[in-house]
Structure 1
């Protein structure tokens, strides 16, 4: 009986050691997964920063050329406005005079389609 009891004790100890080994294996697996996740996050962040840098470079190039055209459009608009205002100042008196002359110079006449009823 003692040998049977001793055999049971050995089995229990072996089972305990097996459970400890399984627990250690699970811990190692979890550590490896955590490490792999951290490495993947670092790679993702590095890739994101690289793509963001490329985007900023392309954006600056596009906006730089767009900024130049905006300045050119503003300059052209100011030039046209200046010419329009100068034309207005130069022709204002002549146009007003012609309008007043036409409004005040009344010459009554019959319309071409008017027929005298009678």
Structure 2
């Protein structure tokens, strides 16, 4: 009976050690998967940056003088905006005065469709 009890104890201890080893193996596996995922993300990011750099270089080569025309258009637009702002500032008072005169100068009149039949 004592030998059976001792054998059971040995089996329980062996089972416990096996469970610990399995748990440790799972932990190692999860750590390795996480590490592999991080490595893959870094590699993907590096590849994306390289492709983006290549694209920018090819785009600059293909467009060539387009960059200068863009700055030229922006410059013209800015000049037109400045002219419009100056015209706005110059004519603002005159327009406001005209609007106020139209709004405040009320001339009461009887409407054409109004009939004075009692």
What TM-score do the two structures reach when normalised by structure 1? 0.54
> Structure 1 residue runs of 4+, over 4 Å off?
none
The reply on whether 1:29 has 2:29 as its aligned counterpart is yes
The reply on whether 1:8 has 2:13 as its aligned counterpart is no
The reply on whether 1:18 has 2:4 as its aligned counterpart is no
Shift of 1:67: 4.2
The reply on whether 1:49 has 2:49 as its aligned counterpart is yes
What TM-score do the two structures reach when normalised by structure 2? 0.54
What is the CA–CA distance in structure 1 between the aligned matches of 2:30 and 2:65, rounded to whole Å? Answer: 52
Unpaired stretches in structure 1, ≥5 consecutive residues: 75-118
What is the CA–CA distance in structure 1 between the aligned matches of 2:5 and 2:37, rounded to whole Å? Answer: 48
Q: Which has the larger radius of gyration?
A: 1
Residues 70-111 of structure 1, C-alpha deviations (whole Å, 9 max, x = no match): 58xx9xxxxxxxxxxxxxxxxxxxxxxxxxxxxxxxxxxxxx
Matches within 5 A, 1:50-89: 50-67=50-67, 70=69
- After superposition, the CA RMSD in angstroms is 1.9
Aligned residue pairs total 71
